[in-house]
Amino acid sequence: MFRSVVRQARNLIGPVIHETNYMEQFVVVPVRRNDHSQTIIVIGPTTRQEPNGEIFNQLLNDYGIPIEERSKWMEYWHNLPIMNRLRLLHICVSANWMINQEALDITDVLQSSFPYGSDQLKESELALADHREFSVFQVGSSSSHQMLALIRSGNKIELMKMLAKATNSSSQNGMLSKRSYLRNVKNFSICGLALSSNAAVEGGLNEELASKLFELHMQHVEELNELALVEAAVIGAIVDFADRVDQNRKNSCSKPVQDSKEYIYLHLFEEITLQQLSDVSGLNPNYLSQLFKKETGLPLMNYIQRERVEEAKKLLDHSKDMISTIGARLTFYDQTHFIKIFKKHAGVTPKQYRNRNRSR
């Protein structure tokens, strides 16, 4: 168990909370000197809820613990100190200050412990790209209402703080499985993702995009078989919805231009004509071009090129596709055209961009 915690702590730059499949929590703090981790300090284990016979029996079923060993597990759980997530986050911050003289906020620790810039979201970006290319891009408490309101407003920081408090509930209302705790967590997670997706749409996020993101996050949750990974995936997804609402509001513009931008995003892997955008926006092509440049600072076709280059960067970062393949997927005429446009917007060639990132 200790080796498992240590493995998770390799290359840490700050404190994290590590949680095992058996409801054990550990604070892991790297001891850093001269910007290098010298060793780590592990605080724990604790658990974040009162031992509950039904829940823990479901866990033991999930992970195939023999019946003759279960009484020892139950005794062990009853001996663990109970520590809610918020208090554990404050312990991380305090321990890091004492050890490394570095001041952090609990949201810094939450983001490190459950990273939403992780491979999960990288895979979501790739899946969104594939979907756009190959197909048509088609909780009752006051706390949950407040959380949904934060998603609608795109308030990511306050949402992260609230998520830290909200991950201590062990309510089982509406659970569908009597044998599997993991299944129950997934059921609640998927309901939460659906509510978050709806809140994001109410906050101004494109409905088709929100729907596809919900589908991708739900699929990711279903593929996971560890409680800690499911929770990390759900936290990441909820914050992702809020972050996209926030970005959408920062880039706010008139409805015709916003409709055009959304159409461009959803059809980057297809040919896009001015007439198509005119039909989407309801404006004369010439007037749309003038309005688009006035509000975005870029001629319409230059904007499309820039968005395709940004999409190409994601594919260069997160896929192994050949550069010529990426250019073709994004409808550039040939590899020479792709390299020319990419360098115009990124300052380097696609090959230089990919090699630079991989050498870091």
pLDDT at res. 258: 83
pLDDT at res. 116: 46
Output the six-digit token pair for 171: 């309510």
pLDDT at res. 66: 86
Q: What is the pTM of this model?
A: 0.56
48 near 88, Cβ under 8 Å? Answer: yes
- 10 confidence band (pLDDT: 50, 70, 90): low
Of 130-139, 235-244, 267-276, give the lowest mean pLDDT range. Answer: 130-139
Angle subtended at Cα 209 by Cα 206 and Cα 215, rounded to the nearest 5 degrees: 140
Instruction: Give 27's strand partners.
Output: 17, 43
Q: What is the mean pLDDT of residues 70-85?
A: 86
Residue with tokens 């949680």: 19
Length of the chain: 360
Separation of alpha carbons 7 and 194, rounded Å: 34
- 95 confidence band (pLDDT: 50, 70, 90): very high
- Cα dihedral: 212, 221, 10, 60 (round 10): 180
pLDDT at res. 135: 47
Phi, psi (degrees; rounded to nearest 5) at 45? -85, 155
Instruction: Considering only residues 341 and 185, tell me which one the structure prediction assigns the higher pLDDT.
Output: 341
Question: What secondary structure letter does DSSP report for 82?
Answer: B
- 339 confidence band (pLDDT: 50, 70, 90): very high
Within 216-266, strands assigned E span none
**How many angstroms from the chain centroid is the CA of residue 95?**
27
Q: Provide the percentage of residues in the chain whose pLDDT is more than 90.
A: 20
pLDDT at res. 343: 93
Separation of alpha carbons 230 and 238, rounded Å: 12
